[in-house]
Structure 1
Amino acid sequence: MSNESALAENISRAVLAAIQHFSTATATTSGPPQATSAPTTYNNTPGPATPTTSNGTSYRSVPFPSVLQRPATHSRFVRKNKACKHYTRDVVCLPFSSASTIRISRGDSRANLARDGLIGKISFTSDWSEAQLKEEMTAIFRRTFALASHSHSSTPNGCTPPRLNMLHLQNGVYRTIGRMMSTIIVQGGEPPAFLSPSVVDYIVSGDILQAHVTPDDIGDPDLRENLNKVQHATLQDDLEKAVSCCDSWQYEVESLPLVVTMANRDVFVKNAVLYHTVVQRQSCLDQLIDGLSHYGFLSLLRENPSLRVLLDIPGEDKGQEPDFVAGILKPSYSILGSNRRAKEELMVVKFREFLQCVENKELRDTYGDRTLTNDEEAFLKTLSPGHILAFATGSSKVPAIGFHPTPQLIFIHDENKHLPIVHTCANKLHLFVNTTTVADDDEFNYCFLLALINGSYSA
Structure 2
Amino acid sequence: MSSQELTEAAALLNNILASAETIRTLSNATATGQQSHDASGSDTVDSRLTTLFPSRGRSGLPQPSAGPVRTSVPRYQAQQSFGTWTSGKRRRRACAQHHDHFNKDVILLPNPSWGIVCRQGTKVWLHKRGHILSAFEFQKVWDHETVIQRIRDGFGERIPEDVSLQFLMACGNKLVCPKLQKGQELNGILIHKVYKTKALYVKPSRMLLDDSEDDTHLSSNSTHSTSKMNTRASICINSDDGESPGTSSNNEERGNWNPGTSLPDGGALAGSDGIPGTSGPGTSSTKGISGPDEVCLARHNGTHSVDEDSYSSYLTLVATISEDSSEDEGLQQAIVASMESHNVENVPVKKILLELASKINVNQRCRFNINRSAVWEGAIRGFKRLSYEPNLMMSIKFSDDMGKNEEGVDLGGPRREFLRLLMESIATSPMFEGKENSKNFALDSTALREDWYYIAGRAMAISLVHGGPPPNFLSPVVFSLLVDISANPVLEDIADADLLEKVKKVSESTTIEDLEMSKAPLLDYLANAGCLRPLRSIRDRDLLVQDIVMFQVIHRVQGPFQRFREGLKTLGVLDKIQKNPDSFRPLFCHEPSTLTADQVDDLFTIRLSPEGSNKRVAEEVVITFWRDYLQDTEEEEGPSKLQKILAFATGASVVPPIGFSPSPSLEFIHKGDDDFSSTPLFPMANTCVNCIRLPLHVSYHVFKEKFDFALGNTYGFGRA
TM range (shorter): 0.3 to 0.5
**Structure label with greater radius of gyration:** 2
Q: Larger relative CO (CA 8 A, sep 6+): 1 or 2?
A: 1
